[in-house]
Amino acid sequence: MNELNSNIVGKEADYTGDNVITLDWWEHIRVRPGMYIGKLGDGSSADDGIYVLLKEVLDNAIDEYMMGFGKSIDITIEDGVVTVRDYGRGIPLDKVVDVSSKMNTGAKYDSKAFKKSVGLNGVGIKAVNALSLTMSVQSFREGKTKLVEYNRALISSDEPEFDTDQPNGTLVNFIPDEEIFKDFHYRDEFVEILLKNYTFLNAGLIINYNGKKFVSKNGLADLLNEYMTSEALYPIIHLQGEDIEVAITHANQYGEEYYSFVNGQFTTQGGTHLSTFKESVSRTIKEYYSKNFDFSDIRAGIVAAVAIKVEEPVFESQTKTKLGSKDIGPEGPTIAKFIGDFIKRELDNFLHKTPDVADAMLKKILESEKERKAIAGVTKLARERAKKSSLHNKKLRDCRLHYSDAKGENLDATCIFITEGDSASGSITQSRDPNYQAVFSLRGKPLNTYGETKQIVYKNEEFNLLQAALDIEDGLEGLRYNKIIIATDADVDGMHIRLLIITFFLQFFPDLIKNNHVFILQTPLFRVRNKKETQYCYSDEERIKAIERLGPNPEITRFKGLGEISPAEFKHFIGKDLRLDPVTMRKQDAVKEMLEFYMGKNTMERQSFIINNLVTEEDVA
């Protein structure tokens, strides 16, 4: 060992009592927020931390409704201030301080009070408290009320109980701390999806949000009708039982589309209940038709939702996005048996009683089987070609942490940049974090896949290799990266490439988009700098403000392509300040019609539209 290493080891080995630090509960949450709410973010993504804070408060209100107390919840969000009022039983007045500021404290350890609750570990509301600038909790109970106010988790006001004429329930008010959530803002589109899901899972519950009313009468059937972007091929099969509800249909689309829930929690990463549900549906349908169908043909184009209630659920992280439980409850059956028995009995009965639906389902399965067999030979050759192409050397610069090795938060961090051209690919490759960020380089403009069958995926080398890099041929279970980021130049050609890639995903892998995996990388259009400071601007408005702030005659650079941005500068744009625009699909987007118009063969119609909507510099002036 050389002298330098010896000195380093010696310093590291200097371990005394001064090295032992004890953090208060709120300090630990603020130092390690990822353990409690996943990632932070500023509200531009649906899984950012500020939405988890809202959800933690809402879960408590929903649990009251599930236990039969309170029919409505009132929510307002204005200028970053969140207010949630439920009309449940109200927190016991002598425990308001405990449940809001003492870790591992709550009524949900008592299964009699909250039998099938989402939050079981007494952490959620405390995490909200610790990560908020201010929070107040007020309980109304039997004509009395108790109010406690906090400032960064420390009590700022704790008044004695007093009389009230307000109905029972709990009122929580909080402001996320901008020291932790930099420049945060709540986006209605993400909040409303969250609230709609709560109403779909709790038929009859009324949620009032900023003047809007959300309510569902038909549960998961309403959920599918809300989120499906393709027309159902037959009426939704809606089945309900004690502690379980499912909705199933098929659409004329590729891929599989699932929505899974446990005790009202949207398990975006699935878990034991979803895997069991998929297998049970496939097996039941196969046995009903008494044909040796491949499960992939049965599930091709399926759109389904499953919601179950479990006693003492075990999730794989505090953010509760994946269920790990194997049993329904301490004395109940396994989840596999519970769901399997229900699907076998209820779905089989439904198909026997509803021959029109059974016939429509069979037609879809046979079409999927026919297409799969037609491309079987091409698929085999394509797989072999992908293996022989030295994927990791020629097209894909992979990250060190593969999906198969990623657990918990690590999976959330993985992403792949899809770029075009050697210069852009080179800049990102040199700038990236190789542990979590991969780069896939396209060669030239990709093919317009609109109107093509899936056979084109295997015949086209670029898309065949991209599919192999993502590992999505057999569904999202194999997806190797949490975020697929399209990184193209901010010019006409870059926009065209971007649209061609999105068209490919919409056409053959829409579930990637519906499950919030596809994003557009924002890169700066301008660099404005003087001798002391450099500012990157993503719009003309930001450029003008930067010029005003940096003073007269700053140097202004207009970036035309990603290749013009040096690797040293690129580090600013794909690191902690990464700006992403999510690619989303909504029913009102009319995806099929939109693709047909913009990407179809109606050249003259599209040309007329462009001419009629052309904006010139004179128009802007």
pLDDT computed for residue 5 by the predictor: 47
CB neighbour burial string for 421-435, b if at least 16 within 10 angstroms, e if fewer: beebbbbbbebbeee
pLDDT band at 576, cuts 50/70/90? confident
Residue at a domain's end among 345, 374, 403: 374
Residue 5 inside a domain? The answer is no
- Residue 346 φ/ψ region, left for φ over 0, alpha for ψ in the -120 to 50 degree band, beta for the rest: alpha
Say how many C-beta atoms besides its own lie within 10 A of residue 540's C-beta.
10
> Does residue 535 sit in the same domain as residue 576?
no
pLDDT computed for residue 595 by the predictor: 72
pLDDT computed for residue 85 by the predictor: 97
Strands (E), 20-131: 72-78, 81-86
Q: How far apart are CA 424 and CA 486, in angstroms?
A: 12
> Does residue 238 sit in the same domain as residue 264?
yes
Domain that holds residue 167: 28-214
> Does residue 419 sit in the same domain as residue 519?
yes
Q: How far apart are CA 258 and CA 264, in angstroms?
A: 15
pLDDT band at 199, cuts 50/70/90? very high
Average pLDDT over residues 502-530: 89
Instruction: For residue 417, give the 3-state DSSP assignment.
Output: strand
> Does residue 202 sit in the same domain as residue 308?
no
Residue 289 inside a domain? The answer is yes
Residue 13 inside a domain? The answer is no
Residue at a domain's end among 374, 403, 422: 374
Q: Considering only CA atoms, which of 268, 318, 325, 261 is closest in space to residue 125?
A: 318
Q: How far apart are CA 277 and CA 53, in angstroms?
A: 30
pLDDT computed for residue 408 by the predictor: 43
> Does residue 322 sit in the same domain as residue 419?
no
Contact partners, residue 92, CB within 8 Å, separation at least 6? 139, 141
* Predicted confidence (pLDDT) per residue in 45-91, tens digit: 788 899 989 998 998 898 888 888 999 999 999 999 999 999 999 99
> Does residue 551 sit in the same domain as residue 428?
no
Amino acid identity at 598? Y
pLDDT computed for residue 117 by the predictor: 53
Is residue 185 within 8 Å of residue 43, measured between CB atoms? yes
pLDDT computed for residue 601 by the predictor: 72
CATH (domain of 160): 3.30.565.10
Residue 12 inside a domain? The answer is no
pLDDT computed for residue 113 by the predictor: 42
pLDDT computed for residue 405 by the predictor: 46
pLDDT computed for residue 620 by the predictor: 43
Residue at a domain's end among 182, 214, 246: 214
> Does residue 326 sit in the same domain as residue 370?
yes
**If you average pLDDT over each of 84-88, 461-465, 591-595, which comes out highest?**
84-88
CATH (domain of 343): 3.30.230.10
Mean pLDDT of the chain: 83
Residue 1 inside a domain? The answer is no
Residue 20 inside a domain? The answer is no
In what helix (H) or strand (E) does residue 441 lie, and over which residues does it extend? strand 437-442
Average pLDDT over residues 265-294: 92
* Predicted confidence (pLDDT) per residue in 520-564, tens digit: 998 888 999 998 898 888 888 889 999 998 888 899 998 877 777
Q: Which two tokens stand for residue 501?
A: 């890639």
* Predicted confidence (pLDDT) per residue in 469-498, tens digit: 898 887 777 888 989 999 988 777 888 899
Contact partners, residue 333, CB within 8 Å, separation at least 6? 327, 341
Q: What is the 3-state secondary structure (H, E, C) of 271-299?
A: EHHHHHHHHHHHHHHHHHHCCCCCHHHHH
* Predicted confidence (pLDDT) per residue in 101-149, tens digit: 877 555 544 544 445 555 544 467 888 999 999 999 999 999 999 999 9
Strands (E), 201-337: 206-209, 212-214, 237-241, 244-250, 257-262, 265-266, 302-308
Distances (CA, A) of 395 to 198, 199, 350, 390, 419: 43, 45, 48, 8, 10
Q: How far apart are CA 393 and CA 213, in angstroms?
A: 54
Average pLDDT over residues 408-429: 78
State how many domains the chain has. Answer: 4
CA 74 to chain centre: 25
Residue 328 per-residue DSSP state: S
- Looking at the predicted structure, is the pLDDT value of residue 289 above 60? yes
